[in-house]
Structure 1
């Protein structure tokens, strides 16, 4: 279909949504992590080169480097897959250790953070801060999803269009489906938008696919149904992403965008709004 990129082109346009927060404290670790930490502490000088050698010699300890910069194993896998095309840290450490360390240093400042943290003395307050980290991570995950919602809402508001957010719209034969934004209103939906941004994987991605399938199923011929999807979490759930892409390529939904293609989103929404009389010629 003209104007629709390939699935791989869409996949490559997905970006990282959540902001990184430098950690300043550690938490109690398992024996292997303690051994890895002791090994890092014993390196004479921390540099990209020395960490590359360390990684190639101890491929199973790469999660310790991830934790040094505040990445859980899932976040670490997502980042490696996003930047290096593979989430297998052991294989990467064995075969591409220099690239692995380069990514961790350029994106997360691993050289400085390992050097600072390996010689630091931690107190009880630091321990509490570390334990609070899971709550901060959950908050950032929610913020990443809202980032996509906020971006599309800003565009619709700038176009001076009436809209509702986080609701259900009425479609064929009175059936309803969920949406993150609808123009002009829930009961008189002409344009319905799904906004799904995830940097991590999990059940929310499955729910997102189900919601978009439901939107496509209940739409009327006059309703314009589009999805804005971003975040590197989708790269590990490509089958789910492809199901949405297939809806687009088959014409069951009218558009599929990332944050990088919001200019096209704006043009298409404006065009659909003009067609339906919400913007005067």
Structure 2
């Protein structure tokens, strides 16, 4: 492990954004697919729009079920959850092919599909409507999830690159049989030698305080023979500096063995390899 702990300000300076800005006016394959689905829905004459015609549409185009979900305000994750609850499966392609009539009837009974389609198919929207939609929670929540997983994916890839057996997003057993959450454990939760927290946030909120609490738990139950490390990044932490400082203090006090950002992953890799060699895992 590194002999010298950088100051908090030095650490803070290495934080970066986890999101790459994308131009919202540039189309994507997903957007184009949604538009193709819309055009086929729009081609159904108003007089023919019915549960029967929508059943035929969804059986013919089973991959476009999420477009019907969007029509009634269901994002993809919520659609999956609702399907699992109602049909005990989230596989909408098979549902559409084999139980299309049931699927359409459910969407209409529970979410008013037919009425909402009739209202929205040929409605006119202005720029203000576009901005309101972009401000919705669906896009924000999706990007937040991607940001958080970016840090987890990076440390998992490094462990795999070193040939270290590991488990992810689990708990590990520490002193006196106590357990604490971790995002990576080497070699496994029953024989935890190295545990790592991965906490990436570009936005602020209670999740950052939860992340601090998790790392404090890890430090509190660690055995003297266990290494505890944390990879933390994202500009959201700059709005919760006091929380980040608490983690840095754990590092300064020797209660955890390292604290890194994506900018210092080379150091994390070296320290992880050194810890693994000390525990004869390499």
The TM-score range, normalised by the shorter chain, is: 0.5 to 0.7
Q: Does residue 1:197 correspond to 2:195, yes or no?
A: no
Aligned mates of 1:13, 1:164 — CA distance in 2: 27
1:153 to 143, 151, 156: 156
Superposed displacement of residue 4, structure 1:
1.2
1:239 to 221, 224, 242: 242
2:255 to 244, 252, 259: 252
Aligned mates of 1:125, 1:145 — CA distance in 2: 34
Flag structure 2 segments of 5+ consecutive residues without an equivalent.
27-122
Flag structure 1 segments of 5+ consecutive residues without an equivalent.
26-121
Superposed displacement of residue 123, structure 1:
4.5
CA offsets 1:151-203 (integer angstroms, 9 cap, x no match)? 00110000010000000000000000000000000111000000000111100
CA offsets 1:197-247 (integer angstroms, 9 cap, x no match)? 011110000000000000000000000000000001111111000000000
- Report the counterpart of residue 146 of structure 2 in structure 1: 143
Report the TM-score when normalising by structure 2: 0.62
- Report the counterpart of residue 14 of structure 2 in structure 1: 13
> Over aligned residues, Cα RMSD in angstroms?
2.1
Aligned mates of 2:244, 2:198 — CA distance in 1: 13
Q: Mean alpha-carbon deviation: is it higher for 199-208 or for 13-22?
A: 13-22
- Report the counterpart of residue 181 of structure 1 in structure 2: 184
Aligned mates of 2:229, 2:124 — CA distance in 1: 51
- C-alpha contact (below 8 Å) 1:19/1:140 kept by paired residues: no
Report the TM-score when normalising by structure 1: 0.62
**Any residues of structure 2 matched to 1:108-147 within 5 Å, and which?**
123-124=124-125, 127=129, 130-131=132-133, 133-147=136-150
Q: Does residue 1:277 correspond to 2:263, yes or no?
A: no
Q: Which runs of 4+ in 1 moved over 4 A?
A: none
Superposed displacement of residue 129, structure 1:
7.9
Aligned mates of 2:165, 2:124 — CA distance in 1: 53
- C-alpha contact (below 8 Å) 1:17/1:199 kept by paired residues: yes
- Report the counterpart of residue 87 of structure 1 in structure 2: none
Superposed displacement of residue 125, structure 1:
8.4
- The structure number with the bigger radius of gyration is 2
Aligned mates of 2:251, 2:164 — CA distance in 1: 24
Aligned mates of 1:177, 1:17 — CA distance in 2: 26
Superposed displacement of residue 22, structure 1:
2.7
